Amino acid sequence: MVNKNHNLNIIFKFGIIYGSIMRIGLTTTVPVEPIFAGNHIPTDLNNIFITSENPEYYVEKAEVDGFPYNSCSWIKGLYSVALNKGFDAVIGVVRGDCSNTESLLDFLSFKGIKVIPFSFPYDKSRKKLEDEIKRFIELLESNEDNMKNTIDIVDKARRLAWIIDELTLKDLVSGLENHYYLVNTSDFFGDISVYIKKAENFIKEANNRNKIEYNLRIGYIGVPPIFTDIYNFLEKNGVHVVFNEVQRQFSMPFPEKDWIDKYLEYTYPYTVQDRLRDIKNEIGKRKIEGIIHYVQSFCHRQIIDYIIKDSIDIPVLTIEGNRPGVLDERTKIRIESFIDMLL
Ligand code: SF4
């Protein structure tokens, strides 16, 4: 059913205050502290989409509703999940994530879903980000005491994610496990205490394992993969993925920064040069021998693939995925050839 007054659903614009717990869908990583401090439940729509039993269903559903075939499958998946799972609102990053998000929010609003836009400032102005977060805090009714506690708890959870990342460098945690714990720092499974418990148990277990055996250390950069089996495929071919660029950024790995500055250090919403500084630093630190750059079909971020390739001194293989599912044979052969070349 189409809501003819869809603009009324833009919470930001009309300042609607709910005063009750909301189940909030996220299109990507946003400052999560005000959401938890307002006692709301965040859910990263990407994670629901890609871990569902049939992600292709969500892509097709969006196409049936009017999304172009030649548009990003992630966006289509987010749209259908947001519609199907009964969220009270969806927060979408309209500057600093995806050029499609404004249209996605328009479409969701058109369908009657309440949407909350959020922007990371292009010029990395602390003042602009503070103003944006302040608006967020007011909108989500996150009181000051709750904010203080939440900032500490989120920090505690992130520190566990950083330990898991360190254990990956020490060959005790696989690339897939690293991906799992880092990518889920966008919403902490909707309940930080669950994340903390799970991560603490995992760290104990990982510390008592034998080291992973491998032939090659690889870094994965770019948006998280729509391929569901890429980490398993790499592991079977003797590759240890010791760096997941964007997933690691989701965990805000900047212990020395205050909670707002973390969102300015976070490289993903800003320029490719910010990302390259981080990637180059980690290549050295993690002794990475080759990079797999994942790009998504119809994604504007493909444009910077050339800059990345031209700026990194070790071999880079760019692979592209479109629909959700397992790796296609052509991409498998390209990855195997890349591995052979590096060995
Ligand atoms: S892959 Fe690219 S186009 Fe698709 S949602 Fe992510 S940023 Fe947007």
Q: Which residue has the least CA distance to atom 2 on ligand 1?
A: 299
144-342: CATH number = 3.40.50.11900
Q: Which residue has the least CA distance to atom 3 on ligand 1?
A: 299
The answer, yes or no, to whether any atom of ligand 1 lies below 6 A from the CB of 181, is no
- CA–CA dist 96, 256 (Å, integer): 23
Q: Give the pLDDT of residue 168.
A: 98
- Are 276 and 308 in contact, with CB atoms under 8 Å apart? yes
Per-residue pLDDT reduced to its tens digit, 74-95 = 999 999 999 999 899 999 999 9
The answer, yes or no, to whether any atom of ligand 1 lies below 6 A from the CB of 72, is yes
For a substitution probing ligand 1, which of 70, 72, 272, 298 has the most ligand atoms within 8 Å of its CB? 72
Distance 12 CA to ligand 1 centre (A): 23
pTM: 0.93
What is the 8-class DSSP label of residue 327? P
Q: Name the nearest CA neighbour of 34 among 147, 126, 154, 130.
A: 147
**Ligand 1 atom having least distance to the Cα of 100:** 8
**Ligand 1 atom having least distance to the Cα of 301:** 2
Q: Give the pLDDT of residue 5.
A: 40
The answer, yes or no, to whether any atom of ligand 1 lies below 6 A from the CB of 98, is yes
**Neighbouring-strand partners of residue 295:** 320
Q: Name the nearest CA neighbour of 179 among 265, 333, 294.
A: 294
Tokens representing 201?
């148990």
Tokens representing 194?
């669950």
The answer, yes or no, to whether any atom of ligand 1 lies below 6 A from the CB of 299, is yes
Residues 6+ apart with CB under 8 A from 119: 93, 94, 95, 96, 132
The answer, yes or no, to whether any atom of ligand 1 lies below 6 A from the CB of 202, is no
Per-residue pLDDT reduced to its tens digit, 167-199 = 999 999 999 999 999 999 999 999 999 999 999
Instruction: Give the chain's residues under pLDDT 50.
Output: 1-18
Backbone angles phi, psi at 31, to 5 degrees: -55, 110
The answer, yes or no, to whether any atom of ligand 1 lies below 6 A from the CB of 268, is no
User: Could you tell me the maximum CA-CA distance found in the chain, to the nearest angstrom?
Assistant: 60
Distance 100 CA to ligand 1 centre (A): 7
Q: Where does CATH 3.40.50.11900 sit in the chain?
A: 144-342
Q: Give the pLDDT of residue 15.
A: 41
Q: Where does CATH 3.40.50.11890 sit in the chain?
A: 6-139
Fold of 6-139: Rossmann fold (3.40.50)
The answer, yes or no, to whether any atom of ligand 1 lies below 6 A from the CB of 100, is yes
Q: Give the pLDDT of residue 197.
A: 98
Distance 98 CA to ligand 1 centre (A): 5
Q: Give the pLDDT of residue 12.
A: 42
For a substitution probing ligand 1, which of 94, 296, 323 has the most ligand atoms within 8 Å of its CB? 296
Tokens representing 253?
């790995």
- Are 118 and 132 in contact, with CB atoms under 8 Å apart? yes
Burial of 332 by CB count in 10 Å (0-12 exposed, 13-18 middle, 19+ buried)? middle
